[in-house]
Amino acid sequence: MISGALQIAGLLLGGLGMIGTFAVTGMPQWRVSAFIENNIIVFETIWEGLWMHCIRQANIRMQCKVYDSVLALSPDLQASRGLMCAGSVLSFLAFLVATVGMKCTRCRQSGWPTKGYILLAAGLLFILSGTTALVPICWVANTIIRDFYNPVVNVAQKRELGEALYLGWVAAFCLLAAGAIFCCFCRCCEKTRSYNYSVPPHHLPLNQHLHGTTESAYSKSQYV
């Protein structure tokens, strides 16, 4: 009962992390224009993402344009595009593998030990996908904070952390938590199986022990 609940919890966390990773990859709110000092044009908001940049005017009209070239992006966004795509693919594969390895899923010629190894592979994939998604998010956030406090950077070019970064941190945490649940679950099941296979002899049932003693006494009486 507890094992099934843990598997469902891990699968739900992994599914939320996968959906969040896909959403973060496509969202344009990675960098948001900052309203500081003389830059008080509040009726226009600039969003910069991995694939496009958008201009939103007075919450009424929004125009988005896809980047003409990858070279138009900054180095952190160029690397983030590839890493987020890799993280999305890994999270999707981890979710599929975890679904196959679930206890409630039946497959031909797949016993529980085999499913345990499948869940372990799913857990490792979840951890790898969470790490892959966490690296570009932290990298972009560090660049934004560094430029924000850099006096050399023009005020109009300074940006703030967008909603996509916060959502990315939550998605990466869900992926890492799902991977930890599956890995710890498989480890605990492995210890339980090894304990069940090596039962000490003094834990034999009492009736079996008495039966053996009676047989030995009967054999001795025959020889006498």
Structural domain of 104? 1-27+74-192
pLDDT the model gives residue 96? 93
- Give the CATH number of the domain where residue 172 resides: 1.20.140.150
DSSP secondary structure of 110-167: --HHHHHHHHHHHHHHHHHHHHHHHHHHHHHHHHHHHHHT-TTS-GGG-EEE-HHHHH
Instruction: Please provide the average confidence, as pLDDT, over all residues in the chain.
Output: 78
Q: What is the reported pLDDT for 41?
A: 53
| Residue 166 in domain | yes
Say what the pLDDT of residue 3 is: 66
Position 42 in a domain: no
- The answer to the question of residue 215 being in a domain is no
- On the question of pLDDT at 62 being above 90, the answer is no
Contact 133, 50 (CB under 8 A): no
Return the pLDDT at 195: 42
pLDDT in tens, 84-105: 999 999 999 999 998 888 765 5
Confidence band of 173 (pLDDT split at 50, 70, 90) = very high
Q: Given a cut of 60, is residue 5 above it in pLDDT?
A: yes
Does the residue 164 lie in any domain?
yes
Structure confidence by residue, pLDDT tens digits, 27-60: 999 998 877 655 555 567 888 889 998 888 766 7
- Say whether pLDDT at 222 is over 50: no
| Structure-token pair, residue 41 | 């044009």
Which whole number is the average pLDDT over 138-156? Answer: 88
* Rounded Cα–Cα distance for residues 68 and 208 (Å): 81
Residue whose C-alpha is closest to residue 134's, from 183, 170, 95: 170
Share of the chain above pLDDT 90, in %: 37
pLDDT beyond 60 at 214: no
pLDDT at 193 over 60: no
- Residue 131 placed within a domain: yes
Non-local CB neighbours of 135 within 8 Å, separated by 6+ positions: 83
Question: Does the residue 199 lie in any domain?
Answer: no
Residue 65 placed within a domain: no
- The residue ranking higher by pLDDT, 10 or 212, is 10
Question: Is residue 187 one of the residues assigned to a domain?
Answer: yes
Q: Name the domain count of the chain.
A: 1
Residue 45 is predicted with a pLDDT of: 82
Tokens representing 66 are 């896809």
